[in-house]
Amino acid sequence: MFVAGFIGSPAMNFIKGRIAKKDGAQQFVSDGGSILPVRALNVEDGLPAIYGIRPEHITIGDGGLPVRVSVLEPTGAETQIFARADDDLIDAVIKERLFLKPGDEVPFLIDPANTHYLIGRRRRDCSAAGAPDPVWLRFTSVCVTHNGNRALTLSGLT
């Protein structure tokens, strides 16, 4: 996440929230209230997560996440949009010239195939090694104990 946050311009969008199921389908529910699409994940419902999407992987189209434009920055053949979906800030780079103004609402389409996830673990899972689904994500885990009690779980991508 550290590297993805500064490689590329603009940087990858990181949105905090959790994985949830609604009507049998998984989705990402952000802390700010946005509902974002996910690809099929083999993870427990309700786990905390960070949702990552690069700005250039967002398009505009019907049925997308409604966002309100904060800043519009034409950069030649592309337009960079800084927007807000509920309490979440999301940046997009659209491959066309757009004529929007701050306050306009547009639908951001996100293809789940282009999304990235950092999935947290519940404290009781601290002793487990490996990821729930090694095909899409691998974890290393470190459990820190204090006086025989699990005090901290650190998980990261390998």
| Confidence (pLDDT) at 7 | 60
pTM across the whole model = 0.71
| Confidence (pLDDT) at 136 | 33
Q: Give bridge partners of residue 119 from the DSSP assignment.
A: 49
Instruction: Kindly report, as residue ranges, where domains of CATH 2.40.50.140 are found in the chain.
Output: 2-118
Q: Are 66 and 88 in contact (CB under 8 A)?
A: no
Q: Are 9 and 78 in contact (CB under 8 A)?
A: no
Q: Looking up tokens 């592309």, which residue turns up?
A: 78
- Cα 52–Cα 56–Cα 60 angle in degrees, nearest 5: 100
| Strand ranges for the chain from DSSP E | 13-22, 25-30, 35-36, 48-53, 58-74, 79-85, 88-94, 105-110, 115-119, 139-146, 149-157
| Confidence (pLDDT) at 105 | 97
| Confidence (pLDDT) at 5 | 54
| Confidence (pLDDT) at 77 | 87
Q: Are 62 and 106 in contact (CB under 8 A)?
A: no
- Cα 41–Cα 29–Cα 63 angle in degrees, nearest 5: 90
Helices assigned H by DSSP within the chain: 2-6
Look at domain 2-118 and name its CATH class.
mainly beta
Tens of pLDDT along the chain (158 residues) come to 444 555 666 789 999 999 998 888 899 999 999 999 998 888 888 889 999 999 999 999 999 999 999 999 998 889 999 999 988 999 999 998 888 999 999 999 999 999 988 887 654 433 344 434 333 333 334 444 444 444 444 445 43
| Confidence (pLDDT) at 119 | 83
The beta-carbon contacts of 142-151 under 8 Å, at least 24 apart in sequence, are 150/123, 150/126
